[in-house]
Structure 1
């Protein structure tokens, strides 16, 4: 869901690196390994935290329950 704040194995802070990682691979077209090296993730445990993260929060925000209720209320009127 949300990028973990710390590496589960060593405790290094990884939460603040997610946006920079996405910028490097999407905007600059950099390979994953090079992007991880550039943001300072050298240990394989920390690299795993970023590489295996699935960003579901954007997909979940599309299904906002309050908007669905408002739409149902409008249809009843």
Structure 2
């Protein structure tokens, strides 16, 4: 369960989570996916990169 907003700056990040996971699973580099999604702040980027799925 990913937080709806970035904990540091408050930007909504949950809307990008599914697309990020799908594209990374398809073999794209995380950096390229995050750049395409428009996530430029390192605080928002870490929300997606460091997320660990705890629910199935």
Scaled by the length of structure 2, the TM-score of the pair is 0.92
Residue-pair matches, total: 56
Choose between structure 1 and 2: higher helix proportion: 1
Where in structure 2 are there 5+ consecutive unaligned residues?
Answer: none
CA distance in 1, matches of 2:46, 2:24: 16
C-alpha RMSD over aligned residues: 0.8
Residues 7-53 of structure 1 show CA distances to partners (whole Å, capped at 9, x for unaligned) of 011100001110000111112x1111111111111000000111111
Look at both structures and tell me which one has the larger radius of gyration over its CA atoms: 1
1:23 aligns with 2:22: yes
Q: How does 1:1-77 map to 2 (within 5 A)?
A: 2-27=1-26, 29-58=27-56
